[in-house]
Structures are given as structure tokens and as C-alpha cells.
């Protein structure tokens, strides 16, 4: 079997790849197992190789960015930023990974007690297409520094991005088997989970994530799931409207709206709604739509035809049920999968766009009466990944931030991932954490060790 990648800006094929079968996947896992025995022993070597990889990414960022833009349509300037962010995260873990997994000495009744952090082994990874480098390397960096090895299946949409990562590791001097790529479909992902791996990490949709989690759990393999989001963007009456309107454009339309932590539900106080909407429309209307390879372009195509049809159907459903289209609301361009940046008002709970994850350049606005109402709307979602709150009253913001049901809350800025802070969600947005020390500890054995001189009589209760 073969898979073919498509350029979403033109709708034309890019390249065809042979898919890997079960035997080839097992061979890669065996190579990873062989590599692990040595890789886990030498922290200094791991650190040095990570720094080498950082330099490779910075040196080759334009070429890497062009591959991502061609495969999934992200505008070139965003692809370049993505590669730069990957280098930052790798450098962060090379700088700080040692302190994150330093042994911890405890004070107990034993002569000596300590906790050590040991790698689990082979981490199987199933990654999405929307940030093909970042979403891979943000888990790879801490996992490798902890002493694990990686076998990763990139999205079939961004197969070449995955192969470019494998090349980057190889050219940076990593030993064979430390980081490998699987080329294939969902069947290949299942083979990978079922193989001799120790843990699984998945980023993608809630539906597929549930299946991955179930399959991993049935084999007692540790699993981290980073799934969808429907992040509320709450604008209170005392917000700086100019800054909020600027943030709304940044939060909604990055990556053509195809981000799990993009701002997806705009919840605005009725007292400033008119001013906010006017500025939001003005800012959005200035975005440049077109060839994603052009450095001046702001909005590229959606990733494929299915994504275009889905976002169009969400807008049509909202329009049919009474929403007002304030801007956009239609496909554009004679080729490729382009959709105009869109702003909707008059959103009601029975509309699909109020319930489903909006993975595209569409901003639905709901107007609220008071802060209690805003909080109710924000939390009325099956998702719980991120949220942003806009207000000049930071005491109020702190109170509300503790009541929003999400893994991340940002005040007076949009939600972004950052290697220094934990990243992940609750509810149908998944479980486990990536990034920071917490992300590193997801794939280690937290081992407790105690030394006694003599047998001490305890009440031996498990």
C-alpha cells in the first residue's frame, strides 16, 4: 500500500510513499530496544547531541519550513517560527533536563531514602499534521533527555516532515535507533502500539485519542493524550478593547485556525461588545489570504478538502439557525482549500459551532450579561484545554482563572505552549502533561529506594 501527500494550496499531489508493514515496524522497535541499552546510560552524550540538533534546526530552518508549508499549508513565516520554537524547546531541556531528574533525598525512618527517575524505554508516538515539527519535538526533547528512545508515526499528511526530522537526528549524530519514523496509516499506528514499546503518546482528535488510550491501556502501557480544544476567549467589560481585539486575531487565525489551543469561542461583555466587534472585524479584514509560500501571506489554505467542507458546513449550520455572518463565510480561490476568515455573531447553544471544535478560520461571538454568565458559557463545553481572560482587574482575573475548567489559563494574552510551563487539558481534551518538568516526568519510572540497617517492625499494611 502507498500514501500520497497533497499540496493544500493547489490540490495537487506532492509525493507518494510506500507504507511500512508490521514486520518493518517491529524491526524499527527492535532497533530502538537495542539503542536504549546504551542511550539511557550516558546523560552527557544525550545533552551534547541535543545541542547539536539545535544547531541543525537553526541552520536549516528555511528548508524545513518550506516542507511543512508545502505539505499542510501553514504560511511560511509561521513555519519558520515553528522550527525556531523547536530549537528553543530542545535547548531548554538540554539546559535544564539534568536538574529535572536529579535524585531527591527524603527524610524517613530508613538510614537512607531517595527517589530516582529512570527512563521507561521506548516511547511510541502518533503525531498530527497541524504542527508537524513542534508537536513532535515538544515531547521528544524531554523524553530523549530522560533516556528514552522514540519510534514516531507522523500524520500521513506530513510524511516528509517526519522524514526530515529523522534526517535531522541522523545528521546530528544520534545513534541508530534513538529516533525513528514509521510511514503509514492508522493501521500502522495500531501495529506500533501493539509492538514491544513501553509507553504511548498521542496528539490529535478526541475520537481517535479515545481509541489510542483504550488500546494502550488494554496492554498496560503508559499513555499521554493531548486532544482537542474549544478554548473560550473571555472579554470582560473593563478589558483593554484594543489589545483584546488584536489578541483575538492572533488567537483565532494562527495556522488558519487549525490549532488545538486556538481561541475558538469569543465570549464578550455586552457593555463593550459593539466596540470589540468593530475592531475585531477591522483587524481581520486586513489579513492577507493567498500563497502560503509568500512571506507576506497571513492566511493559507485549510489542510485538505475534508477540512474545508467541515468548516463550511459549521458556518452553514450556524447561518441556518440564525447566526449573522459579519465577515467572510465562504470559500475562496479557484484552486486549493481556502476559506475566508469569518466572524459570526448571534451564536446559540444548539448550533454545531457552539459545541464542536472549530478547526478553521471562523470566530463565533457570544455576548454575555455578567461574569457569572460568562463563566457558565465558558465551562459549558466537553473540552478543557485552554482559556484566555481579558480584563484590567487582575484580582478579578485571578478569581475567574481558578473557576475556568481548563488545563491552561492566560490573562491578557492568547494561550500558547511554552517549554517552561506544563501543557495539557482535562475533560475531553485529554490527560497527562507535556513540557516543563512535568512533561519530562510522564515517561520515567519514579522509583523509591530505602536502606535499613536492621529490620524495623511496622504494621505491614500495603
Query: What is the chain's pLDDT, residue by residue, as a tens digit (462 residues)?
Result: 899 999 999 999 999 999 999 999 999 999 999 999 999 999 999 999 999 999 999 999 999 999 999 999 999 999 999 999 999 999 999 999 999 999 999 999 999 999 999 999 999 999 999 999 999 999 999 999 999 999 999 999 999 999 999 999 999 999 999 999 999 999 999 999 999 999 999 999 999 999 999 999 999 999 999 999 999 999 999 999 999 999 999 999 999 999 999 999 999 999 999 999 999 999 999 999 999 999 999 999 999 999 999 999 999 999 999 999 999 999 999 899 999 999 999 999 999 999 999 999 999 999 999 999 999 999 999 999 999 999 999 999 999 999 999 999 999 999 999 999 999 999 999 999 999 999 999 999 999 999 998 776 565 556
Give the position of cell 527524610.
107
Which ranges in 175-333 belong to alpha helices (H)?
A: 186-194, 206-218, 241-253, 273-285, 305-320
Instruction: Give the Cα separation of 90 and 141 in Å (integer).
Output: 5
Residue 261 per-residue DSSP state: T
Find out whether 64 and 83 touch, Cβ atoms under 8 Å: yes
Buried b (16+ CB within 10 A) or exposed e, 238-273: ebebeebbebbbebbbbbbbbbbbbbbbbbbbeebb
**Per-residue pLDDT tens for 13-66?**
999 999 999 999 999 999 999 999 999 999 999 999 999 999 999 999 999 999
CA dihedral 83, 227, 440, 33 (to 10 degrees): -90
SS3 of residue 96 by DSSP: helix
Q: How far apart are CA 309 and CA 304, in angstroms?
A: 9
Tell me the three state secondary structure of residue 201: strand
Give backbone dihedrals phi and psi of 402, rounded to 5 degrees, phi first: -75, -10
The structural domains of the chain, ordered by start, are: 2-227+429-449 (3.40.605.10), 231-411 (3.40.309.10)
**Euclidean distance between CA atoms 40 and 21, whole angstroms:** 28
Got the DSSP string for 417-446? --TTS-B--EETTEES-BSHHHHHHTTEEE
Give the whole-angstrom CA distance, residue 81 versus residue 62.
Answer: 10
Catalytic residues: 226, 260
Give the integer Cα–Cα distance in Å for 210 and 437.
Answer: 25
> Structure pTM?
0.97
Considering only CA atoms, which of 441, 417, 462 is closest in space to residue 137? 417
Cα distances (Å, whole numbers) of residue 177 to 33, 124, 169, 203: 8, 13, 10, 22
Amino acid at each position: 500500500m502507498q500514501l500520497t501527500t497533497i499540496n493544500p494550496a493547489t490540490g495537487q499531489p506532492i509525493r507518494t510513499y510506500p507504507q511500512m508493514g508490521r514486520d518493518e515496524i517491529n524491526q524499527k522497535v527492535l532497533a530502538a530496544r537495542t539503542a536504549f541499552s546504551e542511550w539511557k546510560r550516558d546523560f552527557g552524550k544525550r545533552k551534547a547531541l541535543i545541542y547539536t540538533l539545535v544547531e541543525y534546526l537553526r541552520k536549516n530552518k528555511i528548508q524545513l519550513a518550506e516542507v511543512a508549508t508545502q505539505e499542510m499549508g501553514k504560511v511560511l513565516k509561521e513555519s519558520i517560527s515553528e522550527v525556531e520554537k523547536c530549537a528553543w524547546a530542545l535547548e531548554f531541556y538540554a539546559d535544564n533536563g539534568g536538574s529535572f531528574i536529579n535524585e531527591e533525598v527524603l527524610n524517613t525512618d530508613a538510614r537512607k531514602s531517595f527517589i530516582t527517575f529512570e527512563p521507561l524505554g521506548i516511547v511510541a508516538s502518533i503525531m498530527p499534521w497541524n504542527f508537524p515539527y513542534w508537536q513532535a519535538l515538544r515531547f521528544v526533547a524531554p523524553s530523549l533527555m530522560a533516556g528514552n528512545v522514540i519510534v514516531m508515526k507522523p500524520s500521513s499528511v506530513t510524511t516528509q516532515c517526519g522524514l526530515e526530522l529523522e534526517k535531522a537526528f541522523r545528521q546530528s549524530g544520534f545513534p541508530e535507533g534513538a529516533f525513528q519514523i514509521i510511514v503509514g496509516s492508522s493501521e500502522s499506528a495500531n501495529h506500533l502500539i501493539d509492538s514491544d514499546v513501553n509507553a504511548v503518546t498521542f496528539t490529535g482528535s478526541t475520537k481517535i485519542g479515545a481509541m489510542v488510550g483504550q488500546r494502550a491501556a488494554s496492554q498496560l502501557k503508559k499513555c499521554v493524550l493531548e486532544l482537542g480544544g474549544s478554548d473560550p476567549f473571555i472579554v470582560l467589560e473593563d478589558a483593554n478593547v484594543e489589545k483584546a481585539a488584536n489578541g483575538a486575531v492572533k488567537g483565532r487565525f494562527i495556522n488558519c485556525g487549525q490549532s488545538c489551543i486556538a481561541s475558538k469561542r469569543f465570549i464578550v461583555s455586552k457593555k463593550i461588545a459593539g466596540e470589540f466587534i468593530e475592531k475585531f472585524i477591522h483587524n481581520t479584514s486586513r489579513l492577507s489570504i493567498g500563497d502560503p509560500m509568500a512571506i507576506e501571506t497571513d492566511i493559507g489554505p485549510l489542510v485538505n478538502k475534508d477540512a474545508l467542507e467541515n468548516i463550511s458546513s459549521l458556518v452553514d449550520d450556524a447561518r441556518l439557525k440564525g447566526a449573522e455572518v459579519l465577515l467572510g463565510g465562504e470559500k475562496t480561490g479557484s484552486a486549493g482549500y481556502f476559506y475566508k476568515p469569518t466572524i459570526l455573531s448571534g451564536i446559540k447553544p444548539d448550533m454545531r459551532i457552539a459545541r464542536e471544535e472549530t478547526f478553521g478560520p471562523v470566530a463565533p461571538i457570544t455576548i454575555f450579561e455578567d461574569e457569572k454568565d460568562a463563566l457558565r458559557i465558558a465551562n459549558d463545553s466537553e473540552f478543557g484545554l485552554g482559556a484566555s481572560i481579558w480584563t484590567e482587574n487582575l484580582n478579578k482575573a485571578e478569581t475567574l482563572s481558578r473557576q475556568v475548567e481548563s488545563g491552561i489559563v492566560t490573562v491578557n494574552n492568547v494561550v500558547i505552549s511554552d517549554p517552561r510551563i506544563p501543557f495539557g487539558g482535562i475533560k475531553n481534551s485529554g490527560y497527562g502533561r507535556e513540557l516543563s518538568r512535568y512533561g519530562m516526568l510522564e515517561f520515567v519510572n519514579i522509583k523509591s529506594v530505602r536502606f535499613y540497617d536492621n529490620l524495623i517492625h511496622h504494621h505491614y499494611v500495603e
